[in-house]
Amino acid sequence: MASTDNLNDISDESYLQELIFGVDGTEDTKLRNLLASLLTSNRGEYVIRIGLQPSRLALFSDEPPEYPKDWSGVERTVDEIKSGQATVFRTADEIGAKASILFQSLQPSPGMIILLRLPPESISSVAEVRCAVIGNVDSGKSTTLGVLTRGGLDDGRGRARVSLFRHKHEIESGRTSSVGMEILGFSPEGMPVQPGTSHSSDIEVIRREKLSWDQISARSSKVVSFIDLAGHEKYLKTTLYGLTSSAPSLVVLMVGANAGVVGMSKEHLAIALALSVPIVVCITKIDMTPPNILAETVEQVTKILKSLGCRKQPVFVKSMEQAVELPEVFAQEKLCPVFQVSNVTGEGLDYIRMFLNLLPPSDGDQDKFSKDNPLEYSITEVWSVPYVGTVVNGILNAGIIKAGDPVLFGPDTIGGWTSTVVKSIQRKRAPVNSAEAGQCVSLALKRVRRSAVRKGMVIIAKTETPPKAIRHFEGQVLILYHNTTLQKNYQAMLHCGAVRQTVRITGMDNPQGILRTGDRAKVEFEFITNPEYIKVGQKLLFREGKTKGLGVVSRLL
């Protein structure tokens, strides 16, 4: 047990429990200090467990946890749990945090899980989770997102997805053809931030009746940004770009219970695995699927996840306790949460919302994003906005950027860099003064023509010696599929972060000078059109027709 005078070991759960259940109430100051430091070190969010809790290993297995063998913690009475809850809620209020009960149980032993959350100071400090949504055509991607972000249920005829479509042809065909973006906010109390939905069947009313992004962000402590990707094969290029450029924290694979894992679902899953992004499976349409077909789909999903290519342990989420415990550990433990939902009846949606509510923020990944490194911002979208000028959207990979900063953007067609100034910054369509590594923001650039900027460019801090743009590089690659042989001068479309460009193979370390399916080799590539800004260690993915290869940038030439 930690010394009562030492607050440095904030990971000691038993010390926290001792302060919560202090007998004489003299531990109030120490509890306040400990909770404040826990919230600060955990980006304004902390989960407290009181009473006996089942071990995670037992909770995620197929068999229910065996009492008391699979349980840990200190056994408490119902009165003690209530007293501890009152202490936590009172202390949270004193330090300006919000407390809410995530889960409570009475059998086989009383227990409670409490969420503590600090309201953000401004929109610039709202935590964000980026989540890519993939799956075959008609698997229910847009409908599920419409239901999650708007709060109302679907009518079984596509009412929920109408508000997500951006183009007239999408409304007419019912199919997404572009990379759409939707957001779902969670308040400091952990409740979804959603508009009050009417039950109008008028398409214009449905599309108009939703909160703006800045309104959602202003009311939220955490925002989940869904990247709604196209499911049709002819839009695969767009889906690939969305997956590689948006740096998602997780991928949600939508599977229609009535159809199973068909068409592009396996292709999308393979791409997500190649990019090493944690995966969640969501089986939709369970209300309209006969039990025997649903059982076949569940068996198929289990078999694919356990296969040698995936090596994931499926966890079918059937309780709120599982939904609370999974977000923190599923990525490290190679677990794959599987949700079964109906957008018409609402079954299973509460488990997904709880899971999303507790996911660690994307910008908290110190391995990927560091604000101490020099500025680096990847451009993924470019617009020309009336009375504003050229606006770019993208992700801050490193450093901090402020409005008014002088910066360079490039490389251009000859590898040069152009200087400009950041006029203003927006995050989720709300003005902010600064942004830091890991955040997705839009920048208005001063006196820059729209035609001078393209996707895949980067913005860096203004310096006398900008980095060299690369035209030739070497990659350590694995050929996933090719129906004949790959040889020198073969051309394919390469995806590397926000960079998407045709490359030519100029050399390889294979003695025969050819590569077949399953071969690994060091391959030299050349960009056909422009030099690009890439770095050693970046993941690369190239494809042309059915040919697919993946790897990592090993050397810049």
Give pLDDT, residue 157. Answer: 57
Count the neighbouring beta carbons within 10 Å of the beta carbon of residue 347: 13
Structural domains of the chain, count: 4
Per-residue pLDDT of 365-376, as tens digits, reads 777 888 889 999
pLDDT of residue 9: 43
C-beta pairs of 329-332 under 8 Å, 24+ apart in sequence: 329/56, 330/278, 330/280, 331/250, 331/278
Q: Domain with 410 in it: what CATH number?
A: 2.40.30.10
Strand 486-487 and strand 514-515: the pairing is: antiparallel
**The pLDDT of residue 159:** 62
Q: Are 76 and 84 in contact (CB under 8 A)?
A: yes
Q: Which amino acid is at 382?
A: V
How far lies 190's CA from each of 50, 119, 186, 303, 362, in Å? Answer: 19, 11, 5, 34, 18
Residues 293 and 316 in one domain: yes
In this predicted model, what pLDDT tens digit does every residue of 417-429 receive, in sequence order? 999 999 999 998 8
- What is the model's pLDDT at position 316? 94
- For residues 171 and 285, membership in a common domain is answered with yes
Q: What angle do CA 488, 494, 496 make, to 5 degrees?
A: 130
Task: Tell me, letter by letter, the H, E, C secondary structure of 228-271.
Answer: ECCCCHHHHHHHHHHHHHCCCCEEEEEEECCCCCCCHHHHHHHH
For residue 70, pLDDT over 60 is answered with yes
Domain with residue 209: its CATH number is: 3.40.50.300
pLDDT digits (tens, 9 = 90+) for 185-234: 999 999 998 765 444 444 455 455 567 888 888 999 999 999 888 767 77
How far is 397 from 177, CA to CA, in rounded Å?
A: 27
| Contact indicator for 135, 254 with CB cutoff of 8 Å | yes
The reply to whether 346 and 384 lie within a common domain is no
In this model, does residue 171 exceed pLDDT 80?
no
* Residue span of the structural domain in which 446 resides: 376-461
Q: Which pairs with CB-CB distance under 8 Å and at least 24 residues apart come from 81-87?
A: 81/50, 81/51, 81/110, 81/111, 81/112, 83/21, 84/20, 84/21, 84/50, 84/112, 85/50, 85/112, 85/114, 87/20, 87/21, 87/31
Strand partners, 338: 281, 316
Same domain, residue pair 239 and 286: yes
Residue 83, in any domain of the structure? yes
Q: Clarify whether residues 209 and 347 are in a common domain.
A: yes
**340 with 316: CB under 8 angstroms?**
yes
Together in a domain, 387 and 278? no
Confidence (pLDDT) at 265: 85
Q: Which of 341, 364, 387 is the last residue of a domain?
A: 364
- Same domain, yes or no: 338 and 226: yes
Q: What is the DSSP string of 304-340?
A: HHHSTTT--EEEE--SHHHHHHHHHHTTTTTEEEEEE
| Helices marked H in 373-495 | none
Residue 2 lies in a domain: no
Structure tokens at 304: 């694919």
Alpha-carbon span 349 to 148, nearest angstrom = 8
Residue 423 lies in a domain: yes
Q: In the prediction, which pLDDT does 25 show?
A: 55
**4 has pLDDT over 50:** no
Confidence of residue 268 (pLDDT cuts 50, 70, 90): confident
Q: Which tens digits make up the pLDDT trace of 514-545?
A: 999 999 999 999 999 999 999 999 999 998 88
Nearest to 225 by CA among 344, 116, 106, 361: 361
Q: Is position 467 within any domain? A: no
Neighbours of 42 (CB within 10 A): 15
pLDDT at residue 206 in the model: 47
Please compute Rg for the chain using Cα positions: 25
Q: Output phi, psi for 235, to 5 deg.
A: -105, 20
Clarify whether residues 351 and 387 are in a common domain.
no
pLDDT tens sequence across 105-126: 888 888 899 999 999 988 888 9
Determine whether 25 is exposed, middle or buried from the number of CB atoms within 10 Å of its CB (0-12, 13-18, 19+): exposed
Domain final residue pick, 461, 484, 514: 461
95 plus 140 within the same structural domain? no
Tell whether 281 and 406 lie within a shared domain. Answer: no
- DSSP, collapsed to helix, strand or coil, labels residue 124 as helix
Domain membership of residue 1 (yes or no) is no
326 and 303 fall within a common domain:
yes
Asked whether residue 82 is assigned to any structural domain, the reply reads yes
> Is 388 part of a structural domain of the chain?
yes
Residue 5: inside a domain: no
Cβ-contact 381, 393 below 8 angstroms: yes
Q: Are residues 48 and 163 in the same domain?
A: no
Cα pseudo-dihedral 508, 510, 513, 518, rounded to 10: -100
Look at residues 76, 93, 117 and tell me which one is the last residue of a structural domain: 117
